Structure 1
C-alpha cells in the first residue's frame, strides 16, 4: 500500500506542478517574462534544494520526455509553416542551420576551454550543446511582445530555428561518441551526417505523405483525427531514430508535408497539437528545472557567465554575418537575426545527454547550459521588441483577428465552412464586401438559422457562415475586424502614376480608357484589392484591370490606400485621348509630383 500511496502522491504533485506552470503563463504574458524561465524556476523551487524538497535525478526519464516534447514542438512548427513563406529563404536558413551552428560551436569552444579548464574536445562539446537556437522560445517571445517581423526576417528565423536542432543534436552525439570511445574521424562524421540527414529526409517525406493519405482515405470517427496525427508524428520520429536517421529532421519535414496538403480536420489537428505541445513543453521544462542544483551552480557560475556573453556577443554574431554574407540581407537584419538567437530548453536537453552516458564533467555541461539559457532569456528575451523596433525590422502590429469558426465538410476537401460574428465597424458590414472565392451560406440571428436571402440585410451581431477553400480561410479575417482609420500615404512609396484607393473603377476607366464591368464601376480601388486578393494586401501586390496593372503602393488600416498604375508601354503613344481625359491625366501626374515623387 505504501508504494501505491507514493504513486498517488507523485501524480498529485506532478499535476500541481503542471497546473502551476500553466497559471504562471498569465504572469509571463502580462509582464513579458520569458515563459521558459518561469517553468524552469518552478522546477528548481520544487527540487531538493528548493522549498519542495523533491528528490529527482532520473536523467533517463528526463531525456525520454525531452525527446518526445522536442519532437512534438518541431512537428507542430512544421505543421504551421507555409512552404510558400519560407521557399525564398531556404538557402540562407539552411546555411545558418548547419554552418551557423558549427561556427558558433567552434568560436565558443576556445572561451569554454580557458574559462572552465577543459580540453579541446570537451570545449567543443560544450560549444555544440549551446550552439542552436530554440524555436519555441523565439516565437513565443515574438508573439507575447506583439511583434510582426518583416516577412524575410521572420521566415528566416522560423526556418532556421526549426531546422538547426537536428544538426546540433547530431554534432553533440558525435562528440559524445568520440569522448566516450576515442575512435572517430572527420570522414566518419561527414558520412554519418550525410546518412542521418538523407535517411531522415526520406522517412519524413514518406511518413508525411502516408499520414495525409490515411487522413483523407480512412473514415476515422469524429475527434480521432488529431490524436491520430499526433501519434503518427511520434511513430515517424521513433522509426527514424531506430533506423539511425535524424528523427527530429524527419518529424519536422513530415509536419511541413502535412501542413501544406489539403487534409480532413486540419484545424482541429492544429488546435490539439497546440495544447499537446504546450503541455509537453511545460513537463519538459519542469523536469529540467528539477535536475538543477543551485549549490552545484555556484562553483561554475562565473565561468558560465563568460561563456554566455561570448556566445551572444561574439560567436552568434560572427556566425550570422559570415553565413548571410552571400545573401542580400542588410546589416540591420543581420544584427537582429544575430540577437534573436535565443537559447532554450534544447540546450539543456542536449546537456542531459552526457549525463545519460555518464561522461566525466557531465554535470558541468548541464550547469553551464542552464546559466547560458537563463542569461539569454533575460537579456535577449526582454530586449527583443526594442531591438526589432530600433533596427526597423518590425512592422506595425496588425489588429488581432476576429474569432473564426472553421468546420470541415465530409465528402470533399475543396471547401470548408467558415463562421464570423458580424461587427458594426467591420469592412463586411459597412461596405458589403466579400472576396469572389467565398460564398455566404447561412446566417444565425437571435437563435434562428437563416439563408443569406432571408437575412438580407445582415445586421450587426449576426453570425455569418461562408464556404471558402481551407488554404484561404484566414484571408477572410480582414473583412470582419473593425476598420481602423486609414493612415496618410507614405510619399516615398508612390509611383509615377498613382491614385488614392478611394477612387472608383469607373473614374479610372474614364481617365485611362480601360474596360470595367458595369456592376463594378462603383467599387473603389481599395475594395477591388480586397475582393480579388486571396490574402491580406501587402505593399507591391498586383492586380490586372483590363490592359493596365494596379500596384498596391501604400497600406493603411489593413487596406490599400494608394494605388500605382502600370500602363502598357505602347498605350501612351497609340491610345487617343479626349481633351478631358488628357486634362485629368495631367492632374494625376501633378498630384504625383506634389506628393513627393
Structure 2
C-alpha cells in the first residue's frame, strides 16, 4: 500500500548479501535527496516556497522511477517521521532567541495560542459544512482531528518565500514570526494530542453521545495533558540546564558541536518520554535553553547552534515532505481535490481574521498585519502530524475499523492538497504586499 522511498535495482537478489538493505538502497536515497534539492532551487527561481516543489516530487517518484520498488513498512515510516519531527521541534526551540523578542512576547503568544485556536476552529467548521463534497461523507471526529494538524506555521517555508521574493521584512516582524512558529508548533502538538485522546472510542462498546463523552472525559484528559506538560517541561529544563556545561566540557570544534547538539536533542526526547510522554515538549524547551544559555567558549552561542543544526533541520523538512508526497494515493487525491481547494481558501482567510483580531492596530499598522497574515505558511509539522493522524483513526469513536485505512488515505490526500495549495496561493498575496526586489550585482 505504501509508496516507495528506497529504490531497488531489478537484479535477481532483492537484498545485498548478508544485509536487510535492498539493492540500490544508497543509490536511490542519494538520487532522491539530490532531486529534492534541485526542485527546491527551481522553486526559488519561480519565487515559490521549496516545500511545494518537494511535495510534488514525493508524489511523482512512484511513477517517475521505472525500476523495481522496495516499499517502506509502517515501522520505517514511523521512525522517519518521529525523528524528523523531533529535530524540527528542537530547531524551533533553537530559533527562539528570548533577547530579540523583548516587547514582542505578548503579541507572539497571542498569535501562537489564539491564532492556532481560531484557525483550527474556523477550518474545522468549514470542513464539517463542506464534508458532503466528499464521496461517502466524513465522520465528524475524523474531520476535527485532521484539521488539528493545520495549526502550526513553518519557518523554513517563510524564509524560502521571503528569499524567493528578494525581500526581507522588518526586524521586529521577523522575530515575531519566528516566535510564533515556535509557540504555534508546541500548541498544535498539544491540541492534537488532547483532541485525539478526547475522541478515542470508549471501551466495552459505550455509545454515549459525543457531547456527553467530551464532558465526562475532559477532566481526565486535561489532567493527563497537565502531566504531559509537566514531564516535558521538567525533562527539557534538566537537559537544558546541564547542556551548556556539557558543551563547554566536550566541544572542541564546530563539527563536534553538531554531534553534541543532536545527542542532547535525543536525550531530551527520550527523557521526556521516560517521565510521561512529553518528549517533543522536552526537545523544544531544551532547544530554547540552549539558544539562550551562557557559554564559556564565546563562539558557541545561539547563532552557532542554529547554524550547525540548520542542515539537519533542512534534511528533516525534506524527509517529512517526501514522506507525505510518497504516501498520498493518486486515486484519493482526485477524490478530495475540490474539498481540498475549498479548504485552501478558508485557511488563509482564517489566518487573516486571527491576525486582525490578535494584533493591536496601534502597534501594527494595516500593512504589517497583512504581511504577518501572508506569512502563515504551513508545511513540515502539519504534514508530520498528518501521518500520526492516520495512526489514530482506528481508535476514534465513530470510525469503523474497516473504514480507517481508506479514510486515512483520503484525509492524507486532503491535507496534502490544503498544504500544497497554501504554499502556492499565499505567495501570490505576498507578491502584492512585498514587490520583488532583484539582487543587484556589484559594479
Which residue in the other structure is 1:298 paired with? 334
Count of residues in correspondence between the two structures: 396
Q: Deviation at 1:211?
A: 1.0
The answer (yes or no) to whether the contact 1:199–1:246 under 8 Å persists in 2 is: yes
Q: 1:188/1:336 Cα in 2 relative to 1: closer, same or farther (>3 Å)?
A: farther
Task: Give CA deviations for 1:433-490 in whole Å, capped at 9, x if unaligned.
Answer: xxxxxxxxxxxxxxxxxxxxxxxxxxxxxxxxxxxxxxxxxxxxxxxxx9x9xxxxxx
| Structure 2 residue corresponding to 1:363, chosen from 374, 398, 409 | 409
Which residue in the other structure is 2:375 paired with? 340
The answer (yes or no) to whether the contact 1:60–1:356 under 8 Å persists in 2 is: no
Q: Given the alignment of the two structures, is residue 372 of structure 1 paired with residue 408 of structure 2, yes or no?
A: no
The answer (yes or no) to whether the contact 1:74–1:248 under 8 Å persists in 2 is: yes
Which residue in the other structure is 1:277 paired with? 313
Task: Identify, as 1 or 2, the structure richer in strand.
Answer: 1
| Structure 2 residue corresponding to 1:134, chosen from 154, 178, 182 | 154
**Separation in structure 2 between the aligned mates of residue 332 and residue 190 of structure 1, nearest angstrom:** 39
Q: 1:130/1:269 Cα in 2 relative to 1: closer, same or farther (>3 Å)?
A: closer
Task: Give CA deviations for 1:388-426 in whole Å, capped at 9, x if unaligned.
Answer: 459xxxxx99999xxxxxxxxxxxxxxxxxxxxxxxxxx
The answer (yes or no) to whether the contact 2:340–2:414 under 8 Å persists in 1 is: yes
Task: Give CA deviations for 1:124-175 in whole Å, capped at 9, x if unaligned.
Answer: 2122122221222122322332222122322221111122112212222222
Q: 1:155/1:193 Cα in 2 relative to 1: closer, same or farther (>3 Å)?
A: farther
The answer (yes or no) to whether the contact 1:307–1:372 under 8 Å persists in 2 is: yes
**Separation in structure 2 between the aligned mates of residue 54 and residue 356 of structure 1, nearest angstrom:** 24
**Separation in structure 1 between the aligned mates of residue 439 and residue 15 of structure 2, nearest angstrom:** 55
**Separation in structure 2 between the aligned mates of residue 327 and residue 198 of structure 1, nearest angstrom:** 37
Q: What residue ranges of structure 1 are gaps of 5+ in the alignment?
A: 391-395, 401-481, 485-597
Which residue in the other structure is 2:111 paired with? 96
Which residue in the other structure is 2:7 paired with? none
Q: 1:80/1:222 Cα in 2 relative to 1: closer, same or farther (>3 Å)?
A: closer
Q: What residue ranges of structure 2 are gaps of 5+ in the alignment?
A: 1-12, 132-136, 203-212, 395-403
When the two chains are superposed, the root-mean-square deviation of aligned CA atoms in Å is 3.0
Secondary structure at 1:261's aligned position in 2? Answer: coil
Q: Which aligned pairs between 1:37-436 and structure 2 lie closer than 5 A?
A: 37-47=52-62, 54=69, 56=71, 58-116=73-131, 117-182=137-202, 185-218=217-250, 223-263=255-295, 264=297, 266=300, 269-313=305-349, 315-325=350-360, 328-359=363-394, 360=404, 361-388=407-434
Q: 1:324/1:220 Cα in 2 relative to 1: closer, same or farther (>3 Å)?
A: same
**Separation in structure 1 between the aligned mates of residue 356 and residue 62 of structure 2, nearest angstrom:** 41
Q: Deviation at 1:240?
A: 1.6
Q: 1:86/1:319 Cα in 2 relative to 1: closer, same or farther (>3 Å)?
A: same
Q: 1:249/1:93 Cα in 2 relative to 1: closer, same or farther (>3 Å)?
A: farther
Task: Identify, as 1 or 2, the structure richer in helix.
Answer: 2
The answer (yes or no) to whether the contact 1:47–1:53 under 8 Å persists in 2 is: no
**Separation in structure 2 between the aligned mates of residue 320 and residue 59 of structure 1, nearest angstrom:** 38
Secondary structure at 1:132's aligned position in 2? Answer: coil
Task: Give CA deviations for 1:26-76 in whole Å, capped at 9, x if unaligned.
Answer: 323323232112212221111268766746453443332222223223323
Which residue in the other structure is 1:584 paired with? none
Q: Deviation at 1:268?
A: 5.8
Q: Which has the larger radius of gyration?
A: 1
**Separation in structure 2 between the aligned mates of residue 399 and residue 255 of structure 1, nearest angstrom:** 37
The answer (yes or no) to whether the contact 2:48–2:160 under 8 Å persists in 1 is: no
Q: Deviation at 1:206?
A: 2.6
TM-score scaled by structure 1? 0.60
Secondary structure at 2:24's aligned position in 1? Answer: helix
Task: Give CA deviations for 1:302-336 in whole Å, capped at 9, x if unaligned.
Answer: 111111211222x2222222333598333322222
**Separation in structure 2 between the aligned mates of residue 55 and residue 358 of structure 1, nearest angstrom:** 26
